[in-house]
Amino acid sequence: MDTRRLFDLSGRHALVIGAGSGIGAAVAEGLAGAGASVACADVVPAAAEATAAAIAAAGRMATAHALDLRDEAAVDALVAAQGALDVLVCTPAINVRKPLLEMSGEEFSRVIDLNLKGSFHALRAGGRRMAAAGRGSIILFSSIRALTVEPGQGVYAATKAGALQMIRALAAELGPRGVRANAIAPGVVETPLTAPIKAKPEWYRAYAEKSALRRWAQPSEMVGPAVYLASDASSYVTGTLTIVDGGWTAVDGRFDPPL
């Protein structure tokens, strides 16, 4: 067996929501590098266009689309407009870092509306399309916060845990129709979402030292897991959470005991 063919996405079409920056941009370029044509969608049109241009410059096929994940009708329309849909990747999320007792109703709704309800829009639209075709791979970017939390992350963590449960439900509901649904849980990744942490050296260093690898991840390090879940290499994988956290959730505490 030529195992390289297991990861070959030639002839397949992917829609990446959140492709304008960070993990979404890296994954869009990575899927294209594996052979897929990619529709790059982002709430910032110029950012989606930049990612699509980078893919095209590498000799691959890509289109750019403006999309607000909170707009249910717009999500449905974009998914319907795809000539085919073999892979759906959804990455957008926001965070309001506040203790639960200080969180306003408006702030709560803002995080829920994008991270949970917006993800629902994408999963439902993509799931319907793929179920009708009898094939497809849905990949949602969750977080280690679906499993573990810290002060100030309660609402964000709740959305990530909730989105993971939707993925598991989709896996159960759509598996008989040939559709796989999985989630990826990054640890700390240098993206626009984590820029406020990086701007504070002590906070940045503490996060780096929490992982077994003693460093942050780069968005490019999320590409391998995404390509795997999009490809035939994971043909019997569904309903899973792939943890890509540098050992964060495996290591207990921040003190190295004498050995």
Nearest 5 degrees, angle CA 232-CA 54-CA 24?
Answer: 55
Give the number of residues written for the chain: 259
Kindly state the average pLDDT of the residues 63-83.
Answer: 98
Q: Would you place residue 251 in the very low, low, confident or very high pLDDT band (cuts 50, 70, 90)?
A: confident
Least confident of 12-26, 104-118, 134-148, 241-255: 241-255
Q: What is the pTM of this model?
A: 0.94
- Please spell the DSSP secondary structure of 46-97, one letter per residue: HHHHHHHHHHHHTT--EEEEE--TT-HHHHHHHHHHSS--SEEEE-------
> Residue 2: pLDDT above 90?
no
Report the chain's mean pLDDT, rounded to a whole number. 95
156 catalytic? Reply is: yes
pLDDT value for 254 = 61
> Using one digit for the tens of pLDDT, what is the confidence trace for 183-223?
999 999 998 878 888 888 888 998 888 899 999 999 999 99
Beta bridge partners of 229: none
Q: Which two tokens stand for residue 42?
A: 């982002």
pLDDT value for 258 = 60
- Using DSSP, state whether 101 is helix, strand or coil: helix
Q: Which two tokens stand for residue 137?
A: 């791979």
Asked if residue 72 lies in contact with residue 46, where contact means CB atoms within 8 angstroms, the answer is no
> What is the topology classification, in CATH, of domain 3-244?
Rossmann fold (3.40.50)
Q: How far is CA 133 from the centre of its chain?
A: 23
pLDDT value for 252 = 76
Q: Would you place residue 259 in the very low, low, confident or very high pLDDT band (cuts 50, 70, 90)?
A: low
Q: Which of 156, 204, 228, 236 is catalytic?
A: 156
> Residue 100: pLDDT above 60?
yes
pLDDT value for 197 = 84
Class of residue 97 by CB neighbours under 10 A (exposed 0-12, middle 13-18, buried 19+): middle
> Residue 63: pLDDT above 60?
yes
Asked if residue 87 lies in contact with residue 139, where contact means CB atoms within 8 angstroms, the answer is yes
How far the first Cα of the chain sits from its last, in Å, is 45
Rounded percentage of the chain residues whose pLDDT exceeds 70: 97
Q: Which two tokens stand for residue 193?
A: 């979402």
Query: Among 62, 80, 78, which residue's Cα sits nearest to residue 24?
Result: 62
The sign of the CA dihedral 210, 214, 220, 224 is: negative
